[in-house]
């Protein structure tokens, strides 16, 4: 979810065509997941910030892309990307009321509340003055939101995140969860990164996942999950959520490998698929377990081929969903 600045052009229509390594975590949580990926890679082309991870706790350098600042920055069950562009006539929506768990629901997640945070907004590029204003994230100030990145063919990250998030909502609701999206293309821009955190907090969410795709350099491939660092500064205090957020991230990472066949990023996180950051407002300001997932690199042609595939996006949503279910069921 590398971010483009105010000069970002409107997306063009898509042309057809751990501090504790995940090696241990995956072995404990999803036996054989990475081994399964190795087999997958041997017989086929396994592929697959707020932006690329600028500072990882592992100390691995970040390559390519631009640093994002969103919450790090299409249709629910269809295998094609959603259509429709930004609506300038829509005003930012007020924060909806706190969701009440659907007691009529059935399934293993009945009574659980999950907030899904689709990174960016398709209309952000038309509201640069609004998204460029800064907000307090505890460790400093950052832009309200960013435009996100895109593939070289113009498939916007904001479209990708909405599509995967809608698919994810459908899967989780089928498990009995009460699901809320921070935005569903129902507002002109945003929400700002502090509001994105507040939505999860006020919902009393049992888990929050922010969905993104990275914009790093060509050749940088794979996914990574961003975990909140332990932060206690200003409005930010992640001491109570750092550990459960790590568990959530580990479970999502293990299941994402298993379901999609994608490898952990080869350019950040030291091959673990996990990165810890203290500069993302969406994590710093959260009071409930929350992680970001960068599903792949939109600027690499091989990863882009996956990210623009409806069938692969469905697998991505399935992998994230199974990680959330695993976390919530304990």
Question: What does the pLDDT look like over 255-276, one tens digit per residue?
Answer: 999 999 999 999 999 999 999 9
Active site residue 294: yes
| Pairing status of strand 207-214 against strand 290-297 | parallel
Selected catalytic residue, list 195, 250, 294, 322? 294
217-236: pLDDT as tens digits = 999 999 999 999 999 999 99
- Residue 106: the pLDDT is 77
Q: Which domains does the chain have, with CATH numbers?
A: 22-78+105-329 (3.40.630.40)
214, 149 in Cβ contact below 8 A? yes
Collapsing DSSP to helix, strand or coil, 113 comes out as strand
Q: What pTM, to 2 d.p., does this model score? A: 0.74
| Pairing status of strand 224-228 against strand 290-297 | antiparallel
291, 245 in Cβ contact below 8 A? yes
Residue-wise burial string across 34-65, b where 16 or more C-beta atoms lie within 10 A, e elsewhere = bebbeebeeeeebbbbbbbbbbbbbebebebb
- Residue 74 CB contacts under 8 Å (≥ 6 apart), including other chains: 80, 81, 82, 83, 159, 160, 162, 163, 166, 313
- Residue 316 CB contacts under 8 Å (≥ 6 apart), including other chains: 164, 256, 259, 260, 295
307, 216 in Cβ contact below 8 A? no
- Residue 245: the pLDDT is 98
The ranges of the chain with pLDDT < 50 are 3-95
Q: Which helix (H) or strand (E) holds 258?
A: helix 242-260
- Residue 69: the pLDDT is 33
- Residue 102: the pLDDT is 59
- The CA distance from 284 to 242, in Å, is 10
């Amino acid at each position: 979810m590398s971010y483009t600045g105010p000069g970002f052009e409107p997306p063009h229509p898509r042309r057809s065509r751990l501090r504790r390594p995940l090696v241990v975590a995956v072995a404990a949580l999803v036996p054989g997941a990475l081994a399964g990926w190795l087999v997958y890679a041997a017989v086929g082309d396994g592929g697959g910030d707020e932006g690329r991870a600028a500072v990882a706790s592992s100390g691995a350098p970040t390559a390519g892309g631009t640093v994002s600042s969103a919450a790090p920055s299409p249709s629910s069950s269809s295998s094609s990307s959603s259509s429709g562009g930004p609506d300038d006539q829509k005003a930012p929506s007020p924060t909806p009321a706190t969701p009440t768990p659907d007691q009529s629901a059935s399934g293993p997640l009945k009574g659980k509340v999950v907030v899904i945070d689709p990174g960016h907004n398709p209309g952000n590029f038309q509201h640069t003055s609004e998204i460029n204003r800064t907000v307090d994230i505890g460790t400093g100030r950052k832009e309200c939101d960013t435009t996100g990145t895109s593939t070289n063919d113009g498939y916007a990250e904001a479209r990708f995140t909405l599509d995967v998030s809608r698919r994810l909502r459908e899967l989780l609701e089928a498990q009995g969860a009460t699901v809320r999206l921070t935005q569903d293309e129902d507002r002109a821009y945003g929400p700002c990164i502090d509001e994105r955190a507040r939505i999860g907090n006020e919902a009393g969410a049992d888990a929050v996942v922010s969905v993104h795709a990275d914009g790093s350099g060509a050749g940088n491939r794979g996914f990574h999950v961003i975990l909140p660092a332990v932060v206690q500064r200003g409005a930010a205090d992640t001491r109570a959520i750092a550990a459960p957020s790590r568990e959530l991230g580990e479970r999502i990472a293990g299941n994402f490998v298993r379901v999609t066949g994608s490898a952990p990023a080869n350019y950040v996180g030291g091959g673990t698929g996990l990165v810890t950051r203290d500069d993302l407002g969406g994590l710093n300001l959260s009071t409930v377990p929350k992680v970001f997932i960068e599903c792949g690199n939109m600027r690499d042609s091989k990863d882009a081929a996956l990210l623009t595939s409806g069938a692969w996006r469905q697998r991505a949503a399935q992998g994230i969903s199974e990680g959330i279910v695993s976390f919530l069921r304990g």
